[in-house]
C-alpha cells in the first residue's frame, strides 16, 4: 500500500513524492479559542500545545523531514470572529536539492472580525540545488488583525554551506473584505549567488525575513521597529500596514533582531514556545 508521506521508489522506478494537507478551524467557546474542525492527511500534522491564556497555538509539522522537487504541502487555517490564534512550525523547514521538479507549498489563512492571527513559521532553509514555490493567501475581515513573519536562510554559515544555485518563488496575496490590500512576488535564482550579492536584494547577506503587520494601530510600532532593525533592513507604514525587512549574515544574528520584533508586534503572546535562540 502506498503512503503519500513516504519517499519509496515506485514499481516504475520513479521516487514517490511527499504530500501533506491539513486544515484547522477554530471558534470561540466561553471566551476561549477552541478547535472547531481539524483535518490531517499525509505528512502534514498539526499539534496544539497547552497555552497560559485564552488563545490557541498550532504547531505544524512536516513528518517527511524536509522537501524536495515534486513534493506538495497544503495548509489551511480559519480563525472565527473573536478568536486569537498563532501558527508556527516545529522546526526549520529544509528544502533539499531537487532531482527534478519544484517543491510546492500553499498556505491559506482566514481571519474573522475582532480576531487575531499570528503566522510565525521558523526559518525556511534553502540548500544548494533546491527549488521551492510558495503561495500565501490571507483573507481578513474589516476588524481583524494579522501578523505575518517569513524568515529564509540561503545555506547555513555555521555549516559552511554556500548556495550558488537554487530557485525560490514566494507569492503573497492579502485581502481585506475581498479587496486586495497587499501583493508581492519574490523571485530568486537560478543564479542565486550573483543575486544575493546585489545591493537591492540581500547585499551579500545570506538570511532575510519579511514581517507584515495588518492592524489599524500598526503605525505606533514603526519607530520601535526601526530601532530594533538598525542598518540591516528597514520598515515603513502605510494604509494600515507595517512592513519590515531584515537581512543578516547568518540565522543566529537574524534571530537576535527578529525575536524582539515578534515580541513587540505579537501583543501579549510573544514568541512561540518552540522557538529557541
pLDDT tens for residues 81-98? 999 999 999 999 999 999
Low-confidence winner among 192-206, 220-234, 248-262 (lowest mean pLDDT): 192-206
Q: Is the pLDDT of residue 177 over 90?
A: yes
What SS3 state is found at 19? Answer: strand
Give the chain's mean pLDDT: 91
The average pLDDT across 273-277 equals 78
| Lowest-pLDDT choice from 55-69, 132-146, 150-164 | 150-164
Domains of the chain by residue range: 19-265
Instruction: Dump the DSSP string for 32-67.
Output: EEEEEEEEEEETEEEE----SSS-EEEEEEETTSSB
For 36, counting Cβ atoms within 10 Å of its Cβ (0-12 exposed, 13-18 middle, 19+ buried), the class is middle
- CA distances for 94 relative to 65, 86, 99, 128, 198, angstroms: 8, 21, 15, 11, 24
**In which band, very low, low, confident or very high, does the pLDDT at 3 lie, cut at 50, 70 and 90?**
very low
| pLDDT in the model for residue 163 | 83
pLDDT for residue 12: 53
- The arithmetic mean of pLDDT across residues 109-125, rounded, is 97
Who wins on pLDDT, 8 or 14?
14
Residue 11 binned pLDDT confidence (cut-offs 50, 70, 90): very low
Comparing 12 with 237, the larger pLDDT belongs to 237
* 18-60 per-position pLDDT tens digit: 999 999 999 999 999 999 999 999 999 999 998 878 999 999 9
pTM of the predicted model as reported, rounded to 2 decimal places: 0.91
Q: Is the pLDDT of residue 8 over 60?
A: no
Q: Determine the pLDDT at residue 51.
A: 83
CB-CB neighbours of 219 under 10 Å: 14
What is the mean predicted confidence (pLDDT) over 257-270?
92
Amino acid at each position: 500500500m502506498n503512503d503519500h508521506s513516504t519517499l519509496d521508489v515506485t514499481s516504475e522506478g520513479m521516487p514517490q513524492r511527499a504530500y501533506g494537507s491539513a486544515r484547522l478551524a477554530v471558534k470561540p467557546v466561553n471566551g476561549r479559542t477552541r478547535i472547531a474542525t481539524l483535518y490531517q492527511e499525509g505528512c502534514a500534522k498539526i499539534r496544539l500545545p497547552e497555552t497560559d491564556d485564552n488563545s490557541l497555538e498550532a504547531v505544524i509539522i512536516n513528518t517527511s523531514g524536509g522537501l524536495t522537487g515534486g513534493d506538495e504541502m497544503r495548509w489551511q487555517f480559519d480563525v472565527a470572529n473573536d478568536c486569537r490564534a498563532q501558527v508556527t512550525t516545529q522546526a526549520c523547514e529544509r528544502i533539499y536539492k531537487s532531482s527534478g521538479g519544484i517543491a510546492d507549498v500553499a498556505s491559506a489563512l482566514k481571519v474573522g472580525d475582532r480576531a487575531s492571527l499570528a503566522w510565525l513559521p521558523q526559518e525556511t532553509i534553502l540548500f544548494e540545488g533546491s527549488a521551492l514555490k510558495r503561495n500565501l493567501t490571507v483573507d481578513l475581515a474589516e476588524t481583524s488583525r494579522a501578523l505575518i513573519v517569513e524568515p529564509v536562510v540561503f545555506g547555513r554559515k555555521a555549516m559552511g554551506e554556500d548556495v550558488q544555485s537554487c530557485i525560490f518563488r514566494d507569492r503573497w496575496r492579502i485581502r481585506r473584505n475581498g479587496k486586495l490590500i497587499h501583493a508581492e512576488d519574490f523571485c530568486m535564482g537560478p543564479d542565486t549567488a550573483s543575486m544575493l550579492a546585489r545591493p537591492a536584494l540581500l547585499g551579500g547577506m545570506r538570511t532575510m525575513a519579511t514581517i507584515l503587520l495588518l492592524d489599524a494601530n500598526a503605525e505606533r510600532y514603526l519607530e520601535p521597529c526601526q530601532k530594533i532593525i538598525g542598518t540591516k533592513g528597514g520598515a515603513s507604514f502605510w494604509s494600515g500596514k507595517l512592513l519590515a525587512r531584515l537581512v543578516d549574515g547568518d540565522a543566529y544574528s537574524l534571530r537576535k533582531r527578529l525575536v524582539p520584533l515578534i515580541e513587540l508586534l505579537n501583543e501579549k503572546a510573544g514568541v512561540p514556545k518552540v522557538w529557541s535562540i
